[in-house]
């Protein structure tokens, strides 16, 4: 910020707020964090999407993805994802484990229609809902997380987990069939590097299951300053990139993946082939999910983008 290079990304209001905020800050060792190019198409053309005192999000003028372009230092305290993240009174991470586990099983079943996985790695495994879901489906499942607390929590409950990040997965080359990135990819400012690391760890016929917050959800579109998406006291300090279906597909295709499914509407042939009853039940379920998947984005009610992709 000292060279003023990020000022072109801030509107007048955001710049005024930022200047005011910076003038009241103690002298910091590090300058603000800045990103000047789009994380997907590398264009430098961008418009301010929303700006606060402490950070700014920009929208790429070429591909439309929204990314954090400026953040003041020390916005996120050290040890952010340790015990307090899971145990403070407003945290939902330790609640409704069974419900989250059942939802994860449904997502994994969808992925298995395209990726015949015998092993699974959940990146950002937290308390291990996805690992548990994988184990219940008979898959060799493990997790990794940057949080010491989360890794110990999982291992204490027979859910294998290691310390590791999206940029450095704790697994050898070509060793995992399915990598799950459930609300993880939005946490990295450099998703292309992250997906290159994912490809390194995947087997030849392996793939990814990705879920991210949907930029086109009404709160992301129309409550930019009030909603939780961007505020520096809420998700804004954790998230770096907000995707739509189109931008996530573009990222995956440019990173060496072939997209198999762009929503939760996947017909489970395995289940339907068991009997006539199962075929009818699956057809009904598929129709219901399909209707919702068609309606929700048109009313801006879809909260997350779910994509399944395999190595191309
Ligand atoms: Zn772009």
What's the 47 CA to ligand 1 centre distance in angstroms? 11
pTM for the model:
0.85
Q: State pLDDT tens for residues 282-310.
A: 999 999 999 999 999 999 999 999 999 99
For ligand 1, a single-atom ion, the residues with CB < 5 A are 38, 40-41, 43, 60, 62-63
pLDDT band for position 79 (cuts 50, 70, 90): low
Lowest mean pLDDT among 3-17, 270-284, 295-309: 3-17
CA 273 to ligand 1 centroid distance, Å: 42
Interatomic CA distance for residues 46 and 39, integer angstroms = 12
**What is the per-residue pLDDT across 145-163, written as a single tens digit (0 to 9) for each?**
999 999 999 999 999 999 9
CA 41 to ligand 1 centroid distance, Å: 4
For ligand 1, the distance from its centroid to the CA atom of residue 139, given in whole angstroms, is 37
Say how many Å lie between the CA of residue 226 and the centre of ligand 1. 25
Q: How many helices (H) and strands (E) does the chain have?
A: 10, 12
Of 29-38, 105-114, 120-129, 255-264, minimum mean pLDDT range: 29-38
Q: Which two tokens stand for residue 166?
A: 């999206």
Binned at pLDDT 50, 70 and 90, residue 217 comes out as very high
CA of 240 to the centre of ligand 1 (A): 14
pLDDT band at 271 (very low <50, low <70, confident <90, very high): confident
Measure 247 CA to ligand 1 centroid, in angstroms. Answer: 8
Confidence label for 91 from pLDDT (cuts 50, 70 and 90): low
- Ligand 1 centroid distance, CA of 193 (Å): 15
Of 303, 295, 140, 128, nearest to 214 by C-alpha is 303
Residues in the chain: 312
Q: What's the rounded mean pLDDT across residues 199-223?
A: 95
Largest pairwise CA distance in the chain: 70
Average pLDDT over residues 222-242: 91
- Smallest Cα–Cα separation from 230: which of 51, 3, 21? 51
Query: CA-based Rg of the chain, rounded to a whole angstrom?
Result: 20
Distance (Å) from CA 252 to ligand 1 centroid: 13
Per the model's pLDDT, the better-predicted residue between 92 and 221 turns out to be 221
Q: Which of 91, 98, 152, 92 is nearest to 125 (CA)?
A: 152
User: Which DSSP string corresponds to 130-165?
Assistant: HHHHHHHTT-EEEEEES-HHHHHHHHTTT--EEE-B
Res 87: pLDDT? 63
For residue 63, how far is its CA from the centre of ligand 1 (angstroms)? 4
- Output the CA 243–ligand 1 centroid distance in Å: 11
Q: Could you tell me the distance, in angstroms and rounded to a whole number, from the CA of residue 251 to the centre of ligand 1? A: 9
Q: C-alpha angle with apex 13: 226 to 212, nearest 5 degrees?
A: 40
Q: How far is the CA of 138 from the centre of ligand 1 (A)?
A: 40
Q: What is the pLDDT of residue 258?
A: 97
Q: How far apart are the CA of 175 and the centre of ligand 1, in A? A: 32
Question: What is the pLDDT, as a whole number, of residue 86?
Answer: 65
């Amino acid at each position: 910020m000292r060279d003023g290079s990020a000022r072109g990304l801030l509107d007048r209001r955001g710049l005024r707020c930022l200047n005011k905020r910076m003038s009241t800050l103690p002298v910091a060792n590090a300058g603000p964090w800045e990103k000047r190019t789009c994380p997907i198409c590398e264009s430098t053309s961008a418009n301010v999407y929303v700006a606060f005192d402490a950070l700014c999000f920009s929208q790429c003028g070429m591909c439309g993805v929204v990314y954090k372009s400026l953040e003041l230092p020390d916005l996120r305290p050290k040890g952010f994802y340790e015990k307090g993240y899971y145990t403070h009174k407003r945290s939902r991470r330790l609640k409704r484990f069974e419900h989250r586990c059942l939802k994860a099983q449904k997502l994994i079943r969808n992925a298995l229609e395209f990726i015949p996985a015998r092993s699974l790695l959940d990146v950002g495994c937290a308390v291990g809902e996805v690992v548990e879901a994988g184990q219940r489906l008979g898959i060799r499942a493990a997790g990794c997380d940057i949080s010491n607390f989360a890794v110990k929590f999982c291992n204490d409950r027979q859910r294998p987990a290691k310390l590791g990040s999206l940029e450095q997965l704790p697994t050898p080359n070509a060793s995992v069939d399915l990598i799950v990135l459930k609300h993880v990819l939005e946490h990295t400012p450099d998703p292309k590097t992250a997906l290159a690391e994912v490809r390194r760890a995947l087997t030849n016929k392996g793939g990814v299951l990705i879920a991210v917050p949907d930029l086109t959800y009404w709160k992301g579109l129309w409550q930019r300053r009030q909603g939780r998406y961007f505020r520096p006291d809420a998700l804004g300090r954790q998230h770096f990139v907000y995707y739509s279906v189109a931008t996530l597909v573009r990222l995956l295709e440019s990173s060496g993946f072939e997209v198999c499914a762009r929503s939760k509407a996947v017909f489970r042939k395995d289940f339907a082939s068991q009997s006539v009853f199962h075929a009818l039940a699956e057809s009904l379920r598929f129709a219901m999910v399909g209707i919702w998947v068609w309606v929700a984005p048109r009313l801006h009610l879809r909260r997350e983008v779910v994509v399944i992709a395999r190595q191309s």
